[in-house]
Amino acid sequence: MARHLITSAIPYINGIKHLGNLVGSQLPADLYARYLRKRGHEVLFLCATDEHGTPAELAAAKAGKPVAAYCAEMHAVQARIADGFGLSFDHFGRSSSPQNHKLTQAMAGRLAEMGLIREVTEDQVYSVTDGRFLPDRYIEGTCPNCGFDSARGDQCDNCTKQLDPTDLINPRSTISGATDLEVRTTKHLYLRQSELKAALADWIDSKKDWPILTTSIAKKWLNDGDGLQDRGITRDLDWGIPVRKGDQDWPGMEGKVFYVWFDAPIEYIACAQEWQDAGKGNDWERWWRTDKGAGDVRYTQFMGKDNVPFHTLSFPATIMGTQQPWKLVDYIKSFNYLNYDGGQFSTSRGRGVFMDQALDILPSDYWRWWLLSHAPETSDAEFTWDAFQQDVNKDLADVLGNFVSRITKFCRSKFSETIPAGGEHGAPEHALIAALTQRLTAYQGHMDAIEVRKAAAELRAIWVLGNEYLQANAPWTTIKTDPDMAAMQVRLGLNLIRLYAVLSAPFIPDASKLLLEAMQTDDADWPDDIGAALTALPAGHAFSVPDNLFRKITDDERADWAERFAGVRT
């Protein structure tokens, strides 16, 4: 048994996330955690809400609530939705927790001791009307390069030119629309990432098994242009973790907070402390400190490609820079984007399906199966209602659901609601066991390698084998001439349901639970031997016929949903 630490990118607090966010981090992380637990490994699966920064303040103001109250409310909402999707976090924490406050301040103090923090005096844009410094993304104006009138203070989305706020023509605050902006001098702390470039390069080069997407992004940020730059770790904001050196004041930094990118990854570690303090576990340090037992932990992170630079460079730089025995990530599984029906998901335009809306339409397993079987691993993927309807109806209803319905209803009508006795395995059954064994080996290999789409394809192939066996051997025909053989075929089929429940649990946990309940067993150990697994439920064992496992999506539903979530076209 191995020990696995798993984290997924922590979702930002301001609103409910869409399906692309879900499949880009939390859902595949849950798949892997569930699989490893089924295989008998010890797993700690952590996630949290990312709660600091200007967007949280603005979202709270829009909602008419104090920012702390808003964040607490939205954390509860996101936790409830995560539970609705069956995300099996051992703890779902908060970056605003006291544990993260203390740890972030301690790490910053340690980095200062190691000479890796420098103070920088810089000019920033201040809005007199708003009474605050404005982050670059909250300043808009006309691009001096292409004339686009909604360029941001960091980049023009029209021509992609990198900008400074002072480059903009007729700049304005996106918070209030005010134009009374002025440049003021302020001081901030920078993490001297450039000092760690060689160590980071050697570490990244040592990760020979990382996905190409992960290493290519990391090396691009490390080497392109001017290479790895020092990065600001403080901001002039009210909401956040106050800048301190551990439990000591930081002269000159009064009234400032740590920048959200700095404290958010540290929450991965603090989340384990929260897990322990909540009474869910103990000895959190054995997961995160190599001098306390974390040396034998394999740490895997899941994230969208936009988060890769922070997790391959900035967060590792923080950990390395402390020269303390914190656990570094072993494997980063990164994902491309899931787009929506020819465009992008958009909160402002109401375009696409968001997590709460998805659960209002259909149970979570429908979404889990489609999203994971189309995970954007090697390139961007696209959600369309036609594909969703087609794949749900074919894979879940016609393949898995149909198999379960046919064999349970046939047994009930011809024998009873107990597994029948009689007959011995013959050549068709041995051939099926051999094929299943081969498929199971491939399935496990893809799951171990976190090849999500390939694993889904193998699982579907395992379901198909059961249907092909029934179709070829036709117990409904066999029973007319050889009832014992038909009984054996039915017994095999009912044991296949149990096997499917076990193997499918990481992908579709609710359906798996229903199948085990129908087979009236909670013996759900991962199969070491397919032959043994197909005799696990003996003759005389009672079962029940489950309700329709998966229903088909109708053409009318598909058309209605496509129209409902098309958003406002521009």
Residue 402: burial class (beta carbons within 10 Å; 0-12, 13-18, 19+) = middle
Tell how strand 132-133 and strand 117-127 pair up.
Answer: antiparallel
Amino acid of residue 560: D
Amino acid of residue 165: P
Q: State whether residue 246 is helix, strand or coil.
A: coil
Amino acid of residue 74: M
> Quick check: 405 and 365 in contact, CB under 8 A?
no
Q: State whether residue 258 is helix, strand or coil.
A: strand
- Is residue 347 a known part of a binding site? yes
Contacts of 518 (CB under 8 A, 6+ apart): 404, 408, 497, 543, 544, 545, 546
Both tokens assigned to 407? 């064999």
Amino acid of residue 369: W
CA distance 265 to 255: 22
CA distance 303 to 22: 10
CA distance 187 to 194: 20
- Is residue 146 a known part of a binding site? yes
125 forms bridges with which residues in the sheet? 183
Neighbours of 141 (CB within 10 A): 23
- Is residue 143 a known part of a binding site? yes
Q: Provide the annotated binding site for Zn(2+).
A: 143, 146, 156, 159
Q: Provide the annotated binding site.
A: 143, 146, 156, 159, 347
Q: Provide the annotated binding site for ATP.
A: 347
